[in-house]
Chains A and B, each alone.
Chain A
């Protein structure tokens, strides 16, 4: 594909439900990042995958958040037992090698927890 894709574009869920957000990076990009952006706020780093290395999970806000990347390509961010404060836009980005390389962002998933 030409760019980073994310699905769904919008997700409305009830408090306490689990959600899965998907990211498909640019083909050939080995680095993948998840960020969260609350309304009117900057980007909050969540997790970083680089090739086959162990992911950098230092930004995950709680153990309700987890992410995996299968086959070094597609990534899924899972939020268990969602809370209203989880409502935000979840952005995925990919880069060719490392954070010092340009990151290209997907369109984001807008999550609303009722």
Chain B
């Protein structure tokens, strides 16, 4: 069974700190990885995607992929209270559906 695992949290960080969200996946054939943010009562919205090993930066967000360890992470620098949400990790490959993790709840406190 293909799985994506995330710590459910909550992960609590102070405003201005770095939030580190982690995800592991079981399918070595996965080729693409996505981080979605979901506010309570809202639908998921894409934050970042990453296909290659290493880091990918976009503003305050950095996605990290290590295919050898089957590990994906999302770093949020200078965390803001507005970043408080559930972050969903997903893996995909080819024409198959994305496999989503259950999400990590992030709470940024002032």
Could you tell me which A residues sit within 8 Å of B by CB distance? Answer: 33, 35, 41-43, 45, 48, 50, 56, 59, 91, 98-100, 102-108
**Would A99 and B49 count as touching, CB distance under 8 A?**
no
Counted as pairs of residues, one from A and one from B, with CB atoms less than 8 Å apart, the total is: 53
Residues of A within 8 A of B103 (CB): 42
B43 to chain A, nearest CB (A): 4
Could you tell me which B residues sit within 8 Å of A by CB distance? Answer: 31-32, 34, 36, 42-46, 49, 88, 92-103
**Would A99 and B97 count as touching, CB distance under 8 A?**
yes
Residues of B within 8 A of A35 (CB): 100
A18 to chain B, nearest CB (A): 24
Shortest Cβ distance from B48 into A: residue: A102
**Would A102 and B34 count as touching, CB distance under 8 A?**
yes
**Would A100 and B88 count as touching, CB distance under 8 A?**
no
Partner of B45, one of A56, A99, A105: A105
Residues of B within 8 A of A42 (CB): 88, 100-103
Q: With a 10 A CB-CB cut-off, give which of B45, B97, B101 has the most chain A CB atoms.
A: B97
**Would A91 and B94 count as touching, CB distance under 8 A?**
no
How far, in angstroms, from A102 to B33 measured CA to CA in the complex? Answer: 10
**Would B97 and A45 count as touching, CB distance under 8 A?**
yes
A42 to chain B, nearest CB (A): 4
**Would A102 and B43 count as touching, CB distance under 8 A?**
no
Shortest Cβ distance from A35 into B: residue: B100
Partner of A108, one of B43, B49, B93, B94: B43
